[in-house]
Chains A and B, each alone.
Chain A
Amino acid sequence: MRIIADYDRCEGHGLCADQAPDVFDLDDEGDLIHHFDGAELPAEQEAAGQRAIDACPVAALRAG
């Protein structure tokens, strides 16, 4: 599973980082950091990754 982040759509609500702290983070400016951008998620992170996709209120994340 890969997660594609639309950085232009991201508004920095940070729910993805709550749900999948090993996948997503916000930097000091509140901008999104995606640790697996363009890469496969480790299997043990897939459930958290799916929760992050669901939690995003601006539909900036999708499985790809």
Chain B
Amino acid sequence: MTVRTVVVVGGSTAGATVLRDLRARGYEGRLTLVDPERGTNRPPLSKAVLADAGHEATVRMDHSSLDVEHVQASATRLDHEARTVIASDGSEHRFDALVVATGSRARRIAEAGQTGEIVLRTVEDARHLRERIADASSAIVVGGGFLGLEVATAAAKAGLAVTVVDVDPPLQRLLGEHLAASICERAAALGIAFRRSGAALVGGPVRGVRLDDGEEIMADAVVSCVGDEPATDWLRDSGLELEQGVVIDDHARTNLADVYAAGDAAVVRVGDTVVRGPFWANAVTQGRVAAASVLGLPVDAPVVDHYFWTEIAGLPLKVVGPLPLEGEPRVLEDAGEGTGLLAWGSSAVVAYGIRRSVPRLRAVLRELSERGAG
């Protein structure tokens, strides 16, 4: 079947990659984007944008060069039999191929009716948090993952007294003990305090947290960085297989014909289980895979790309290879104080505190794998 109309729901990194790649691959048919906004390039939100309002304008996607019909509404329903997406403005959009890229939303821990919980997911969230940081002298960050520590970094650099609360050792689940310990040491040197505990928000509006031992700590700003949930509610009765997200195969196909998914809204079927990797690199690679699949072209990218980067306590960190990073690394290049180019066996290469382009890191990893170093 010739594809003449492609509908993409969601215009952020995954959806935008689909739009761009379809056009870059020569698709000249109709392209419809359903998204209330223009889509957001999200990685800078917790880094550059949090530190400097001037960067805000750069994170809004601009699809104007792609000949896209932009429906500024949310998708509310998929009628697969009719190959139609229904939008919140009542409009209906028939498709030959559909790509679901609705991303995810911040998980929240406030109780019903409790106001004032701060999260960071959207441009508006970032603006709100930046303004709060500017007025505050103290902050509590609930959640010691990448996002939590990026937020803690921004707050600490702005001069706030920052406490990160997590039931687990910060960063350890993904980065392993070695890097997590090193980064937390640097974060502590920036003035960031860590508390090992669960946390319940207290106050309405939220003014602090109650720890597991009953102690309450208060701060001017309390930010929940406790993960995200796929934004797939609108697909509930669509017939799509949902399991923490839309289940896709290595061609970004779903269980429904002509329906594909990519990015944070998707999970990848691997054998009997599904893998969720809500990172930017996966949104990009799955967008590429989906675009190729829609056009019936050979898929030339992996559906999971083990790459991510972050900036915590002023140090850039790039990881190429699957997480977590267990055990001690081999130091390929020593830049002092634990920083440098590090390798975990022949499966992961990390640039820690040094600038190194992604293509170079991938090349180092390829070389290690070929030599079978371990």
Q: Which residues of A contact B (CB under 8 A)?
A: 9, 11-15, 18-19, 26, 29-31, 46-48, 50-51, 53-59, 61-62
- CB A24 to nearest CB in B, in angstroms, measures 13
* Smallest CB gap from B55: residue in A: A59
* Other-chain residue from A51, A57, A59, A61 in contact with B65 (beta carbon distance below 8 A): A51
- CB B260 to nearest CB in A, in angstroms, measures 20
Structural contact, B66 and A30, CB atoms closer than 8 A: no
Not counting A53-B62, A56-B41, A59-B49, a sample of 8 additional A-B residue pairs whose C-beta atoms are within 8 angstroms of each other reads A11-B309, A12-B359, A51-B24, A53-B58, A57-B280, A58-B44, A58-B47, A59-B59
In the complex, B205 has a CB within 8 A of chain A: no
Structural contact, A11 and B20, CB atoms closer than 8 A: no
Count of interface residues, chain B, beta-carbon cutoff 8 Å: 32
Structural contact, A50 and B44, CB atoms closer than 8 A: no
A-B pairs with the 8 shortest C-beta distances? A12-B357, A30-B357, A47-B65, A59-B58, A30-B360, A30-B359, A50-B65, A59-B44
Structural contact, A30 and B358, CB atoms closer than 8 A: yes
Structural contact, A11 and B358, CB atoms closer than 8 A: yes
Structural contact, A11 and B318, CB atoms closer than 8 A: yes
* Other-chain residue from B59, B61, B66, B359 in contact with A26 (beta carbon distance below 8 A): B359
* Smallest CB gap from A14: residue in B: B359
15 A-B Cβ contacts within 8 A?
A11-B357, A12-B358, A12-B360, A14-B357, A14-B359, A19-B20, A19-B24, A26-B359, A54-B63, A56-B41, A57-B13, A57-B43, A58-B43, A58-B47, A59-B55
A12 to B57, CA, bound (A): 21
Structural contact, B358 and A14, CB atoms closer than 8 A: yes
* Smallest CB gap from B16: residue in A: A54
**Cβ–Cβ < 8 Å partners of A56 in chain B:** 41
